[in-house]
Amino acid sequence: MFSAFRIIVARDLLLAMRRRSDVLTTLFFFVIVVSLFPLGIGPELNTLRLIAPGVFWVAALLASMLALEKLFFVDYQDGSLEQMLLAPQPLSVLVLGKVLAHWLVTGLPLVLLSPLLGLQYDLSTATIAVMMFTLLIGTPALSLIGAIGAALTLGIRGGGVLVSLLVLPLYIPVLIFGAGAVEAEASGLGGAGHLSMLGAILLLSALAAPLATAAALRISAE
């Protein structure tokens, strides 16, 4: 079972390496959206500090959304999804592998780049650290939840728009607790409660989302 997980992760990482443009689009999208706000608002540091958590999190949400479309679609098109459905391992394990690989190439780069972007918003080192941590535990949850929507809209014409409508409402809790943790920390209240909630969302989605995604894939592939 673990070997199938490893094979899928290795295969998808190799494919991402061979086709880097897909990875870079998501990353640059995030960078550009986050950078537009300081340019538009101007050098008002207080305002920028105030809106930074929200802007970062909304940009992360949209970037994650953008990358979702490709998650299962290529596999569906070339027939390798059929082979995954017929593999003798539980489909949810393969799904988890795919989501992990997807997060490593689309989610993790955002987390690693966020401190640099945080400088544009005049954030303190402590705030940047909290922001990075929330993104680190929040973006995998986004990928996991988004996978359900991607699987449900597979093979539907205009699925890209539909997936946004399906998934964005489900992202709201992650947005609230992710941005909330950074704000609470910056205002000196301490973000421990928010972070615990974010961790709980991650655990819950790691348990439930692969099962739901697997079920959705079986329906979509029929």
Partner 1 sequence: MLEVVNLQCTRGDRCLFSGIGFTVGEGELLYLYGHNGSGKTTLMRTLCGLVAPTDGEVCWKDLPIRKQRDEYAAELLYLGHKNGLKDDLTGVENLLVACRLAGVSVKEDKAWSVLERMGLRGHEDLPARVLSQGQQKRVALARLLLSEAPLWVLDEPFVGLDVAAVALLEAVLAEHVARGGMVVLTTHQEVALTSGKVKKLRLGWKEDGCV
Residue 79 sits in the site that holds partner 1 (CB under 8 A): yes
Q: Interacting stretch for partner 1, rule CB under 8 A, among 36-44, 64-72, 74-82, 195-203?
A: 74-82
Q: According to the binding rule CB under 8 A, does residue 78 interact with partner 1?
A: yes
In the numeric block, which tokens belong to residue 58? 């909304």
Binders of partner 1 among residues 86 to 145 (CB under 8 A) are 86-90
Q: Which range of residues in 12-20, 64-72, 99-107, 204-212 is near partner 1 by CB under 8 A?
A: 12-20
**Residue number with CB closer to partner 1 (176 or 221):** 221
**221 is a contact residue toward partner 1 (CB under 8 A):** yes
Q: How far is the CB of 160 from partner 1 (least distance, A)?
A: 21
DSSP string, the chain: -HHHHHHHHHHHHHHHHHTHHHHHHHHHHHHHHHHHHHHHH-S-HHHHHHHHHHHHHHHHHHHHHHHHTHHHHHHHHHTHHHHHHTSSS-HHHHHHHHHHHHHHHHTHHHHHHHHHHHGGGT--HHHHHHHHHHHHHHHHHHHHHHHHHHHHTTT-TTHHHHHHHHHHHHHHHHHHHHHHHHHHHHTTS--HHHHHHHHHHHHHHHHHHHHHHHHHHHHHH-
- Residue 140 C-beta: closest distance to partner 1, Å: 23
The span of 40-48, 75-83, 174-182, 193-201 binding partner 1 (CB under 8 A) equals: 75-83
> Position 174: which residue type?
V
At closest approach, how far in Å is the CB of 147 from partner 1? 19
Min dist. Cβ of residue 154 to partner 1 (A): 14
Identify whether the C-beta of residue 116 lies closer than 8 Å to the C-beta of residue 38.
no
What is d(CA 207, CA 96) in angstroms, rounded to the nearest whole number?
10
Binding flag, residue 43, partner 1 (CB under 8 A) = no
Binding segment for partner 1 among 37-45, 78-86, 115-123, 195-203 (CB under 8 A)? 78-86
Which is nearer to partner 1, 44 or 82 (by Cβ)? 82
The residue ranges that bind partner 1 (CB under 8 A) are: 3-4, 7-8, 11, 14-15, 18-19, 77-80, 82-90, 221-222
